[in-house]
Structures are given as C-alpha cells and as structure tokens.
Structure 1
Amino acid sequence: MTTWIVVITLAVLVIALLAIGGWAIQTANRLDRLHVRYDLSWQALDGALARRAVVARAVAVDAYGGGPQGKRLAALADAAERAPRSAREAAENELSAALAMVDPASLPVALVSELADAEARVLLARRFHNDAVRDTLALRERPAVRMLRLGGTAALPTYFEIAERAETTPAVSRRVSARVVLLDETGAVLLLGGSDPAIADTAEGAAPRWWFTVGGAVQQGETLQEAAAREVAEETGLRVDADQMIGPVWRRDAVIEFNGSVIRSQEMFFVHRTQRFEPSPDGRTGLERSYIHGYRWCDETMISELVASGEAVYPVQLGELLAEANELANELANAVADARGGVPRRQLQSIR
C-alpha cells in the first residue's frame, strides 16, 4: 500500500511539473512575441517622429523664413532627432510645443496637409507603441512570471508620453494651474489616479492610466493660493485656508494632450500637511468624475514602484522632491510652534 501511495504521489508531481513546464514555455514564447511587437512598435514610432522632424524643418522655412523663430524650430527638430531614448520625450514635447505655435495661415496648403499627416502618424504610432507596452507589462508583472523570471534579462518596456495634435489639429489652449503636494503625517503624498476621458476603454484593455497631485486651473479673479485651496476641497473634500498653503515652491511647464485638446500648462505647486483621510468625490465636477478613478497615499518608495511597473506619475520628479516637500512642511510647523510666522520664501524651482 505504501508503495502505491509513493507511486501515485510521484505521478501527480510529474504531471504537475509537466503542466507548469508547459505553461512556462507557452508564456515565455508569448512574452517573446510581445517583446518583438514592442521593438517593432518603437521602430514605427521612431520613424514617424523622424518624418515629423523633416516636416518641421520645412515649416520653419515657410513660416518664419530665416528669422530667429525659424532657426529655433529647426534646431528643436534636429535636437529631437538626435536625442537618446531617455531624453526623447522631453525633446519631442518641446518640438510639439513649437509646432503648436505655428500659424497655419502662414504655410502653403500642401505643407499644412503634410504637417497634419505627420502629426496623425505620430499619434497613431504612439498609441500602437503604448498598447504594446501595456500588454507586455501586464504579462511581465504577473507574480508567477516574475517568480520564474520568464521575462529573462530584458528591460521592462516603457511608455512614450508626448503631447501631439490630433488629426483635426486643435488650437493650443494655455492655462495656469495650482497644484498641491498634500502630505500626511507620515510624509506620504496623496495621488489621484485618472485617464483621458477622450480615450475610451476597449475590449483589448483599459485606457492608459496615470497618477497626479491634487490641483487644477486657476479661475478668473483667484489667487494661486485660493485656487489651490479650492481644488483641494473640490477633489478631496478637505477644507483648507488659502493662507495655510506653502508656496508656490515649484513650477512645471508642460504640453498636455487631454480630452481632445492640447494644453500648454504652467503648473505652480504648493505644499500642505494634514492627517491622512479618505478623499470624498462629492465636490468634483462632472469632468473630474469622468477621469478620476481612484487615489492612493504614496511615499518615495511606492512612487518608484509605480514608475518601475510602467505607470506614469506627474510631476516626473515627485519622488525625488518628496523629502524637500516634507522639509518645507516641517519648517512651517516649527515656525508656528515658535510663533515665528511662516516659512522663509524660497526661490521658485523649475521641475519636470
């Protein structure tokens, strides 16, 4: 009887090992195909961006002639073409911003059409590339895949996030925003999770998600501090006096593609510390309800983990700047306790 038990146990183990091995081989092959797709999608995106740079140089000549603006646009196109992968997003965003400032009326109709076609190709190639990144990461991040190291030594694929004009070449709007690094008693920051309401989820997967700090556009007649306090109340339900906001301490200039528009945004960041709480969506606008899907309190390590897993966090430098934000909050707490007034004003720092 004991012998039969041993035989049956060994048979079960062999069958289990064969099943695991078969699954692992199948998954490894699928990962290999996904990585090939990712590589090909990057090549297609790189080609679309290169073509846009060529068109941008032609636009520089027709729109500005030999003037300084034309030379700057041509230089930005050259820089975008030569930029390494790590700096490509920033270089392409600068080129996007410069192209957005060109008046179509200053260009021949044929060149306007060529520019629109180049922008449309970049738009499609970027979405195809980011779809490949999403699908590859979804499989690479499964616990069993990571435990068995089925992804091998290949680096995790990364999204390519730039703002480009859609086929209809919408006008670039400009806005000033007040954003708040809302800290809890442990030093963690509140991040909201969202997606572009103009990009719907499909059967193949959800629209790209990203994480961002609380904040929004400054309304007419508001100060930056008032806008920051209002946005905190609207998006989280927390009521804060405007004069309790520390800052602005950072400034971020960005070109953002959102809800079918291209926005040139100047973001001014404030710092505020509170006890950890559960944000309420009750005060959010209809638009905010459509694109904010969740929240989480994150320390520097958690932010790094989000980025490593392929999720975008804005501002990009938030993780490395979190210690500075906490230092500012501590300075204010100490100043209030000592009845010394507010935190000494610091020079506004430009961030990404």
Structure 2
Amino acid sequence: MDPLGVLLCGAFTVLVLLLVGSCLLRANRLDRLHVRTDAARAALFAALERRAVVARAAAVLLDDQTLLATAARTETVPATEREAAENDLGKLLGDLPARSLPEPLRAELTDAEQRVMLARRVHNDAVRDTLALRSRRLVRWLRLAGTAPVPGYFEIAEVDAPADGPAEPPPRSRRAGRVVLLDSARRVLLFEGVDPARPGEPFWFTPGGGALPGEDGRAAAGRELAEETGLRVPLDRLVGPVWRRHAVFSFDGGNLAADEEFFLLAADLDRVDTSGFTDLERGTVLGHRWWTAEELRGTGAVVYPRELGDLLGSLDPAAWDGVTRIVC
C-alpha cells in the first residue's frame, strides 16, 4: 500500500475509534441519566404517597370525607390521571384552615408539601437533562437509548401548605381554543415554547390560546390561529371540538386550571407568520416546525397533548364522528 493509502487508512481508523468512543461515552451517560430519572421519579412518588398519608390523617381528624376520598384516589388512579388527582389533593390541602389542625400535624403537612415540591423539581431537572441528550442526532440515529422509555415531566401546580387560610390563590381558570393544523402531507404544526419560570424545560404545543371575554372555544381558536400563523379561515371550517383537555399547571409563577378545546383544520401554509405574537409569546416561543405522526411517536421532546403522535392517525377533517374525546 502506498504511503497515502496508509495515511488515509490510519485516519479512517482513528475516526472510527473516535466515533465508537463517543458513542460509548454517550450511551454510558444516557444510562446514568435514565437511572437518575428513575430514582427521582421513585422519590417523587414516595413524597406524594407520604403527603397522601398525612392528608388522610387530617381528613379523619376534621371528618372531611371529600379530602379523605381525594387522598385515597391519588394512590389508585391510572398513571395518565395521576397528575390531575394530585392537583385535586393539593388544592384541598391548600384550602384547609391552618388553625383547625394540631401543631404537630400542621408541621408534618408543611414538611410533606415542601418535600413534594422539591422532589418534583429534582425529577423534572433529571427529565430535562435526559431528554436533552436523547434529542441529539447521534443518539437518535444510532438508537443509543435502546428500549428505555422516554421520560416525561410531572406537571402539577405548586401549592404551599396552609397558613391562616388559603396559602395561595386557587388556580386561575383559563378557557382556551386550539387548532390541530394539518397540511396535505398530514403533518401537524407545533410551536416550541418555555415557561418563563423554567426556561430550561421546553415543550411543543399546537397553535391557540386563551379565550377573550365573550368568546367560545371556536372563536378563540380561530382568532389565535390568525394571530400566531397569519392563517385566517371562516370559523365553520374548524372541525370539532375533536378533543378536550383539562390540566392544572404552573406558568410564569402562577397556577392555571386550563380547559382546552381542540379543533381540526386541514390547510397548506406556505409561511408561518408570527408577527401577531404578543410580547409574552415573543419571549417564550422558541420556534415552530411541522411534525409527522411517526416523528412525534419517536421524539424525546415534550409534546402536548402527550399522545398527539398516536391521535393523529385517527383524525380526518372530512369524517369526524362528532365525538369530543378527552386527552391529556
């Protein structure tokens, strides 16, 4: 072999070794991150279960059957309903009058709430780091995550323990209209955004937003679609609501109880015009893209609704069955 061939062969070997080494390092780090995430989730659930035990003790003392049933429900609901159940329990605990509880029980409840808050933040930090590495091209192309399930954030409103009344205002109700916008290739348009209070936890969502006074979900969806994409259509072209989503979550330091209606629209859009964004949207929306159902099912990103990739296959603007389904 001539010297040039030897040199090229050596360079290729070095590149292969570097690639293999990089893959091994990333796979090892990813494995550690998954272990960290699993441990953080176990710690979070342990903190939630302890809060439920303390809540049951308070319910028995106060003879509060609603609180007792809500605390018990958090331990029996399916995983998809756990966040909603924990939010219900948190709201009831936040509304408890502090003076109705003995000091030891009040202190234990305060400690339980603080542990839940801390465990949730640790868990979501671990999920953020894991999703960031899983989203890297090399990790995705070579499937370095293996069969490990994609972790997800645990979204509950943070409610302080009771003081001399409700420690915090109840979640602000927010009715919203959203649009599942499909192009001719059956891709869906999503925006990527962040909570200003947690800028390191990006997520993807459909166009839409809160209703103005006097608006219903359809009118809000049409108006928000025009403001966020530049696409203006008659409201009767919005099919649905095909889905409805109830969620309680923290955003920009406050708690929201959202009631979202999703409408379906098929339309090709040459350019997404975001000039109608509000100041808040300009500061929190990072970008947008069109997604296929396959991409959504395989992504490590956080997407709302969470089962959007599976739901897209059943959507047909020309053949909606008239049933509004609950999604999460």
TM-score tier (shorter) = 0.7 to 0.9
CA offset at residue 55 of structure 1? Answer: 2.4
Q: More helix by proportion, 1 or 2? A: 1
CA contact under 8 A between 2:71 and 2:89: conserved in structure 1?
Answer: no
Query: Residues 116 and 270 of structure 1: is their aligned pair in 2 closer, same or farther, counting only changes over 3 Å?
Result: farther
Indicate which of 92, 114, 124 corresponds to 1:120: 114
Q: Given residue 133 of structure 2, which amino acid in structure 1 is its aligned partner?
A: L
2:312 pairs with 322, 330, 339, which one? 322
User: 284-293 vs 35-44, which deviates more?
Assistant: 35-44
From 110, 124, 132, the counterpart of 1:130: 124
Query: How high is the TM-score relative to the length of structure 2?
Result: 0.82
2:183–2:267: 8 Å Cα contact kept in structure 1? yes
Deviation, 1:182, is 1.7
* Deviation, structure 1 residue 196: 0.8
Give per-residue Cα distances to partners, 1:301-331, cap 9 Å, x unaligned. Answer: 122122xx2x1221123223324432xx225
* Residues 127-161 of structure 1, C-alpha deviations (whole Å, 9 max, x = no match): 2223223323433454445666655x561450232
What is the DSSP-based 3-state SS (H/G/I as helix, E as strand, rest coil) of the residue aligned with 1:312? coil
- 1:245 corresponds to: 238
Aligned to 1:334: none
1:188 maps to amino acid? R
TM-aligned CA deviation for residue 194 of structure 1: 0.9
Aligned counterpart, 1:104:
96
**Which of 130, 149, 153 in structure 2 is aligned with 1:160?**
153
What letter matches 1:199 in structure 2?
R
1:181 equivalenced with 2:180 (yes/no): yes
Q: Distance in 2 between matches of 1:27 and 1:318?
A: 29
CA shift in 2, pair 1:125/1:185, >3 Å: same
Select the structure of larger CA radius of gyration.
1
- How far apart, in 2, do the equivalents of 1:185 and 1:90 lie? 34
**In structure 2, distance between residues paired with 1:24 and 1:273:** 41
Residue 121 of structure 1 aligns with an amino acid whose one-letter code is: R
Question: Contact 1:192–1:293 (CA<8 Å) still a contact in 2?
Answer: yes
Unaligned runs of 5+ in 1: 81-86, 201-206, 332-342
Contact in 1 for aligned 2:181/2:188 (Cα 8 Å): yes
Distance 1:114 1:234, change over 3 A: farther
Whole-Å Cα distance in 2 between the matches of residues 322 and 15 of structure 1? 45
CA pair 278-305 structure 1, distance change in 2 beyond 3 A: farther
Which stretch shows the higher mean deviation, 240-249 or 100-109? 100-109
Which residue in the other structure is 2:164 paired with? none
The answer on 1:95 being equivalent to 2:86 is yes
Using the TM superposition, give the Cα deviation of residue 170 of structure 1 relative to its aligned residue in structure 2, in angstroms. Answer: 4.5
Moved more, 234-243 or 166-175: 166-175
Q: 1:281 to 1:141 in 2, by over 3 A?
A: closer
CA distance in 1, matches of 2:32, 2:216: 53
Residues in 2 aligned to 1:222 and 1:147: alpha-carbon distance in whole angstroms: 45
Preserved contact between residue 250 and residue 349 of structure 1 (Cα < 8 Å): yes
Deviation at 1:8, TM superposition (A): 5.6
Do 2:70 and 2:85's aligned partners in 1 also have CA atoms closer than 8 Å? no
**What is the aligned residue count?**
319
| Cα-Cα RMSD | 3.1
Describe the shift of the 1:215–1:60 C-alpha distance in structure 2 as closer, same or farther (beyond 3 A): farther
Q: How does 1:210-225 map to 2 (within 5 A)?
A: 210-225=203-218
Unaligned runs of 5+ in 2: 161-166
CA distance in structure 1 between the aligned counterparts of 2:39 and 2:245, rounded to whole angstroms:
33
Q: Which amino acid aligns with 1:39?
A: D
Contact 1:137 1:156 in 2 (8 A): no
Q: Comparing 229-238 with 6-15, which one deviates more in the overlay?
A: 6-15
Q: Is the 8 A contact 1:163 1:262 kept in 2?
A: no
Change (3 A) 1:59 1:212: farther
Looking at structure 2, the residues matched to 20 and 324 of structure 1 have their Cα atoms a distance apart, in angstroms, of 41
- Note the C-alpha offset of 1:219: 1.5
The CA deviation at 1:258 is 1.6
Among candidates 69, 72, 80, match of residue 72 of structure 1: 69
Shift of the 116–170 alpha-carbon distance from structure 1 to 2, 3 Å rule, reads: farther
Structure 2 match to 1:54: 53
1:263 aligns with 2:259: no
Q: Is the Cα–Cα contact under 8 Å of residues 252 and 350 in structure 1 kept in the other structure?
A: yes
Q: TM-score, normalised by structure 1?
A: 0.77
Distance in 2, Cα, partners of 1:289 & 1:346 = 35
